[in-house]
Amino acid sequence: MTDRREFRDLASPAEARAVIDGLDIAAGTERVPLADARGRVLAERVDATIDVPGFDRASMDGYAVRAADTFGADEADPVTLDVVGTVHAGENPDVDVAEGTAVEISTGAVMPPDADAVVMVERTTERDGDVAIRTGVAPGDNVMLSGTDIAAGARALGPGTRLTPREIGLLSALGVDAVPVRSRPVVGIISTGDELVRPGGDLDSAAGQIYDVNSYTLASSIEEAGGAPKLYPHVGDDFDEMERQLQQAAEECDLVLSSGSTSASAVDVIYRVIENRGELLLHGVAVKPGKPMLVGEFEDAAYVGLPGYPVSALTIFRTFVAPAIREAAGYEQPRTEVVTGQMAVRERYDEGRRRLMPVGLVEDGQGRMRVYPVDKGSGATTSLVEADGFVEVPADTISLDAGETVDVQLFSPEVRPPTLLCVGEDDPLFSRILDRLDRPRYLPVGTTEGRRRLDAGVPDVAVVAGPTDSDYPVLGEWEREWGLVVPAADNRIDGLAALVDGDYRFVNRGRDSGLRRSFDDALAALADERGETRRALGDAIDGYGLTTKAHESPARKVAAGAADAGLGLRTTADKLGLGFVSLGTQAVRVLANPERVEKAGVEQLERALDDLASLVDAEAGFSLNGR
C-alpha cells in the first residue's frame, strides 16, 4: 500500500470533478406539505386540475348587467336599470339578470346568470331600487372568465422548479396542499481522530483534545447545498470501529464524508474498508489543500474523504463536493461570484502545486477591492471567518506582486467585504465600539504588526497602544490603566521592583503588544534607577520570556493558579475577579489610513467614537486623555 500513501498519481482538479460528478448520490422523491415546500425542487410536472377562477368572476365592485342594456349610456345620458338583487364574494347568486335589470356585485363574486359584464360602481348612481349607469360596457368588461388565469389540464410548473413564494402562490391557487419534491440526499459525516470532542463536551487539553470543527461546519454546508446532513460519532484509528461506522453510514446515506482521516494509519483503514466493500476511484488531487482527498463507492453509497484542517476541508467541500450535492438535490449551481481586485501585498510561493489561497477583501477609499492573503496555517479556525474567498494560483506561479490583479472566488454569492478592516492592539473598549458597527472585521495582531500593516496600506484603521508617534489621522484616543494582574487578596507583589526582586512566576505579552512596550519602558526606567540594564532585570523575572498572544491570557494563567503575576489591564483583573497592581496608564489611539477617511465604514466608526465618554465611564481603568 505504500505507493498509495505516497500519493504518486494526483488527479487534476478537472479529473476529480468528473469522478465526483459521476457518483450517484441522488435520493428519491417524496411528498411534502405546501407549508414546508419553500426551497424544495419539484420532482414532477404539476398541471392544473381545476380552472382558476372556477367561475366567471367580477373583477370590480359594481353592477352585473347585460352589456347590451348599457350601449349608448354616458355621463350626459345614463341608462337606468332595475336593481333586482345583490351578490357578494363567496355567495351563490340567487337571481338572474333579465333584460333591463342589474345585480349589485362585489369584487370576486360569481357573475349571476345572463349577466355578461360589470359596470364599476364609480360610474353608477343608485337610488330607490334603480341604478343609473353612466357608461357603456362591452360583454366581458370587468369579468374574469372561468379558467382565464389557468385552466384545468394546463401545464402549471415544470419538473425541477425550485419552489419560491411565487410558485407556492400558484400551487395554492390550484388547491395543491402537498407536492412531489426531490428528496434531499442524505450525507453522512464521520469525523475521525481520537482527539475530537463534540462542542459542549468537556475538553482535556493536556491530553491534546480539541473540539470537532468539521462536523458542524460540514453539516451546515451540506444543508446549504440542499442535502440532509447526518452526524455519526467520531471514530479513531481502530479498524473494526471505523469499518462498523462506515458500513452503517453507507447503509443509511447517499453520500458519506469523512474528514481528518489523513494520518497514514487512518488512511490505511479507510482504504481497506472501501476496497473490501467497494472501489476507491481517486486518491489525491493536485491542488493545495486537496492532496489527501479520497473518492470511492461502497455498499451503494458514494464516499469522499476530506482533509482534517477546517479551512482545507471546507474549501475542498465547496469546490468539489457541494456542486454534486446541489445537482442531486436539483438546486441550481450558484452563479460563481467572482470579485476582481488588486493584491494589497506581495505573496510568494515555494511549491509547484496549484493552490486555492484563502484571501480577505477590503474596499479602498475609491471603491476598489484590495485582496490580502489569510494564511494562519491550515489548522487555524479563525481563518474561516477572516477569509472571504480564495484565489486560484496556478502551479507555476512564483509570486503575486502587490497591485497585481486577481480574481477572487467568494465562498458564497452572499459574501460581502467587511465595512471596516481594523488591525492592531486588542482593547476591551475598542471591542465595545466594534459591537456598534455593521460587519466590521478585527484582526488582533498587536500594535507593532498593526502599525506595519497600516504602513503597507492594507487596513482601514489600526489600533495602537503605548508610546507611539505617527502622522496618521487620529480618529479617537483614550487612556487605559495597565500593570500586574495578581491573585485576588494576594498582596505579596506591590510594584515592579517586587516582581524583579522576588521569586514569582510571571507571564508576559509578546513584542507586538503595546502593553509589552510600556512594560519594557517601565523596566528600563527601574534599571536606570538602579544602574542596571533592562536585560538584567528581565532575566531576573521568571517568565519574562514566556509570552502570550492575547490580552487576557496572562491574567487567565493567574486565575488558573499557573502564575503569580501577569501583564494586563485593570479592566481584565476586575472582570476575572483578580487583584491588580497599577504600573501606569497608556494611550490607545485609533489611527486611520489617510486614503480611507471618507469610506462609509470609517465614517461610521468615527460616529461611534463620538460616544467615547460614556464608554470610558462604563469600563474600569479607562479614561479620556487629559482627565
From candidates 23, 25, 57, 499, binder to a copy of itself by CB under 8 A: 57
Candidate ranges 23-31, 257-265, 469-477, 599-607; the one touching a copy of itself (CB under 8 A)? 257-265
Tell me how far apart the terminal alpha carbons of the chain are, to the nearest angstrom.
Answer: 72
Identify the CA nearest to 37 among candidates 177, 187, 221, 222.
177
Candidate ranges 30-38, 246-254, 276-284, 465-473; the one touching a copy of itself (CB under 8 A)? 30-38
Q: Which residues pair with 621 in a beta bridge?
A: none
Residues 409-468 contacting a copy of itself, CB under 8 A:
411-414, 416, 426, 431, 434-435, 437-440, 442, 444
Candidate ranges 200-208, 295-303, 459-467, 469-477; the one touching a copy of itself (CB under 8 A)? 200-208
Tell me the residue type at 104.
Answer: E
Q: β-pairing, 101-105 with 62-65?
A: antiparallel
- CB atoms near residue 107 (< 10 Å): 16
Nearer to a copy of itself, 79 or 242 (CB): 242
From candidates 69, 212, 425, 481, binder to a copy of itself by CB under 8 A: 212
Nearer to a copy of itself, 80 or 381 (CB): 381
Residues 534-593 contacting a copy of itself, CB under 8 A:
548-553, 555-556, 572
Residues 6+ apart with CB under 8 A from 417: 360, 361, 362, 363, 369, 388
Nearer to a copy of itself, 226 or 444 (CB): 444
Nearer to a copy of itself, 332 or 455 (CB): 332
Residue 159: CB minimum distance to a copy of itself, A? 5
Residues 157-186 contacting a copy of itself, CB under 8 A:
157-161, 164-178
What would the x/- binding string for a copy of itself be over residues 227 to 246, using CB under 8 A? ----x----x----------
From candidates 22, 100, 113, 201, binder to a copy of itself by CB under 8 A: 201
What would the x/- binding string for a copy of itself be over residues 320 to 349, using CB under 8 A? ------------x-----------------
b/e map 277-305, b = 16+ CB within 10 Å: bbebbbbbbbbbbbbbbbbbbbbebbbbb
Task: Please give the Cα distance from 50 to 72 (Å, whole number).
Answer: 38
Nearer to a copy of itself, 19 or 387 (CB): 387
Q: Please say whether the beta carbons of 191 and 259 come within 8 A.
A: yes
C-alpha 72, offset from chain centre? 66
Told to check if 193 binds a copy of itself by CB under 8 A, we report: yes
DSSP structure class, residue 36: G
Task: Please give the Cα distance from 377 to 305 (Å, whole number).
Answer: 21
What would the x/- binding string for a copy of itself be over residues 96 to 125, using CB under 8 A? ----------xxxxx---------------
> Nearest 5°: phi and psi at 17?
-60, -40
